[in-house]
Amino acid sequence: MKRIFIAIKVDPGPGIKSMMSDLSSSLSGDRIKWTDMSNIHLTLVFLGDIEEKRIKTLAMLVAEACSSAVSFDIEVRGTGVFGKKADPKVIWAGIEKSGALENLYSLVTAALLKGGFMSDTKPFRPHITLGRIRSVKDTEVIRGNRKVC
């Protein structure tokens, strides 16, 4: 079994780099594993554990679904956390929804459903994971809401 998610590789521009620098400085006394800049991505769908023998089929479905997608820009807006207010787990940067992003999400999820890879569909919450929190003293620092890029 492999832990699988479908994502868009993101080239972190100055806005994301500045946001991560500001946050890591503000949270320097906390225990956070920051995402390496080479691994910045926008998750479309998290699938969890998938049998290795099904990954090739999965890759073909996703490639076919994406073949009609068009290139688009993303706009990063604000930060937040996943997890309980008193025990956050992930720091993220929000992504403004766009028609092109919604279309790509729809194409991919339809292909995954058709191929039997998804049984439930949670609301799409586009984001970039900035860091995984081990412990943090002041969660308000990471709950900002500023436009980045």
What amino acid positions are annotated as catalytic residues? 41, 127
Judge contact between 103 and 69, C-beta under 8 A.
yes
Residue listed under structure tokens 């028609």: 99
Q: Burial letters for 21-39: b for 16+ Cβ neighbours within 10 Å, e otherwise?
A: eebeeebeebebeebeeee
Judge contact between 130 and 92, C-beta under 8 A.
yes
Residue 83 in 3-state DSSP? strand
Residue listed under structure tokens 């995402």: 35
